[in-house]
Chain A
Amino acid sequence: MSALQKGPDEAAGGERRAPLLELRQVSVRYPVGGRRRLTAVDAVDLRVHEGETLGIIGESGSGKSTIARAVLGLAPVSSGKLLWQGEDVSGFDRAQRREFVQAVQMVFQDPHSALDPRRTIAQSVREPLDVMRRGVRGSRQEVAMQALADVGLTAEIAGRYPHQLSGGQKQRANIARALVTRPRLLICDESVAALDVALQAEILNLLQDLKVNYQLTIMFISHDLSVVAHLADRMNVVYLGQVVEDATTTSMVDQPRHPYSEALLSAQPHVNLHEETNRIVLTGDIPSPLDPPPGCRFHTRCQHAIDRCATTTPELTEALPDHWAACLRTEELYGLTGRAKELI
Chain B
Amino acid sequence: MTAIIVAADSFVGPSRERFSSGRAPVVASYVILAIVLAVVVSADLIAPYDPNKQDLDAILLGPSAAHPFGTDDLGRDLVSRMIYGTRVSVLAAGQAVAIAVLIGVPLGLAAGYVGKAADLVIMRVVDAVMSFPAIVLAIGITATLGPDITTAMTAVGVVMAPTIIRLMRAQTMSVKGATFVEAARSFGARGVRRLILPHILPNVIQPVLVQIAILMGFALIAEASLSFLQLGVQPPTASWGSVLSRAYTFFDQTPMQIFIPGIAIALTVFALNIIGDDVQRRLDPKRKGR
Q: Which residues of A contact B (CB under 8 A)?
A: 72-74, 98, 101-102, 105-106, 108-110, 113-120, 124, 127-128, 131-132, 159-161, 163-164, 174, 177, 181
Contacts and interface: CB of A to CB of B under 8 A. Distances in A.
B179 A108 contact: yes
B184 to A, nearest CB: 7
B64 interface: no
A105 B186 CA distance: 7
Contacts of A128: 187-188
Contact of A72 (B186, B199, B203, B286): B186
Contacts, number: 70
A132 B288 contact: no
Contact of A131 (B179, B189, B289): B189
Contacts of B199: 116
B183 A106 contact: yes
Given A102-B187, A116-B203, A117-B288, 12 more contacts: A73-B185, A73-B186, A108-B183, A113-B180, A116-B202, A127-B187, A127-B198, A131-B187, A161-B288, A163-B286, A163-B288, A181-B187
B178 interface: yes
B202 A118 contact: yes
A132 B188 contact: yes
A180 to B, nearest CB: 9
Interface in B257-290: 285-286, 288-289
B186 A118 contact: no
A181 B183 CA distance: 14
Contacts of A160: 289
Contact of B285 (A102, A109, A117): A117
Contacts of A102: 187
Nearest to A108: B179
Contacts of B289: 120, 159-161, 164
Contacts of B53: none
A327 B154 CA distance: 70
Interface string B185-208: 111110000100011001100000
A127 B203 contact: no
A163 B188 contact: no
B203 A117 contact: yes
A73 to B, nearest CB: 8
A131 B184 contact: yes
A175 to B, nearest CB: 12
Contacts of A161: 285, 288-289
B44 interface: no
A115 B286 CA distance: 13
B182 interface: yes
Central interface residue in A72, A109, A116, by most chain B CB within 10 Å: A116
Central interface residue in B185, B187, B198, by most chain A CB within 10 Å: B187
17 contacts: A105-B186, A110-B179, A113-B179, A113-B180, A114-B180, A114-B182, A114-B183, A116-B202, A116-B203, A117-B180, A118-B202, A118-B288, A119-B198, A124-B180, A128-B188, A163-B286, A181-B187
Nearest to A160: B289
A110 B177 CA distance: 14
A262 to B, nearest CB: 34
A127 B286 contact: no
B281 to A, nearest CB: 16
A276 B287 CA distance: 54
Contacts of A110: 179
Contacts of A132: 187-188
B179 A114 contact: yes
A84 to B, nearest CB: 15
Contacts of B194: 131
Contacts of B188: 98, 101, 128, 131-132
